[in-house]
Amino acid sequence: MAINWFPGHMHKARKEIKKVMPQMDLIIEVVDARLPFSSENPLVPALRGDTPVIKVLNKRDLADPAITEQWLGWLEKERGVRAITMTHNQRAEALDILRLAGEMTPDHDRQKRALRVMILGIPNVGKSTLINTMAGRPAAKTGNEPAVTRAQQAIKLPDNVLLYDTPGFLWPKLSPEACGYRLAISGAIRSAVIEFEDVALFEADYLLDAYPELAMARYGFEERPRDGLALMDGIAEKRRFLGRGGVPDLHKVSEILLNEFRSGKLGRISLETPAMVEQEAREEAERQREKSDKA
């Protein structure tokens, strides 16, 4: 299943961001530490030009720490990019972002003009919570559902920083296809537009491949299930999620898998590694070449 979600307000946000981006001194992009590549917006490099960027890997406490370290080095390979990690509501860490902003804009005189900073992030990545933490007040609306922020707003921060908040937006085509699944697992895509069982099966297969011990411990398996569907069937049996005739209720199982990943109850799990996404990019490029040759 190819997952796409690009409501009209996101298209409008993209146009507005493209219009004001050249006026910015610095960009903060908030990504999910569990899926830094999939939650990174590929439109941003094209829009930012030479403007320096701070990549904030949010929800660090939910991600695999060893893999997070790999991502920090990988992201900083891009020119003009610094990468840091954050956890929820840590004001000291949030203020470190502002200090780093000063280091990355040494020629800017804040006595003459405010440092103009744009903050970007896909839906439900924690951008608005980070803004409120930096501001020390409820300056941005927050919520558990994606796409709470619908319009740009300018927020005054300490040390003459003017922060431009923007609506979270995805891109029209979520590619490679695995990126769409990871975003759906993380909660970045509205539940109404995803197939729960399909997304949860992707998660179950990944868990058995990358974190079998965590999955087995959480759901009480003594032996590793043969595949994701067997894991889901086993959870249904153990939790008594059974319908008429003893048929497993895979929708309930899917809700459990997705919610327990998002809350961290499954453990500290990263959904992708730099090596994984590089391999997927090569495979996607090969598919596109083959498609072009057949055209």
Token pair for 75: 């992201």
Cα-based angle 162, 168, 174 (whole degrees, multiple of 5): 140
153-157 β-sheet, strand order: 81-85, 53-58, 26-32, 115-121, 161-165, 153-157
Annotated binding residue 156: no
Annotated binding residue 124: yes
Annotated binding residue 61: yes
Annotated binding residue 18: no
Annotated binding residue 77: no
Rounded Cα distance between 132 and 94, Å, is 10
Annotated binding residue 4: no
Annotated binding residue 240: no
Q: Are strands 26-32 and 115-121 parallel, antiparallel or unpaired?
A: parallel
Annotated binding residue 59: yes
Q: What are the residues facing 260 on neighbouring strands?
A: none
Cβ pair 148, 121 in contact under 8 A = no
Annotated binding residue 44: no
| CB neighbourhood size of 144 (10 A) | 8
Binding site, residues?
58-61, 124-129, 168
Binding site for GTP, residues?
58-61, 124-129, 168
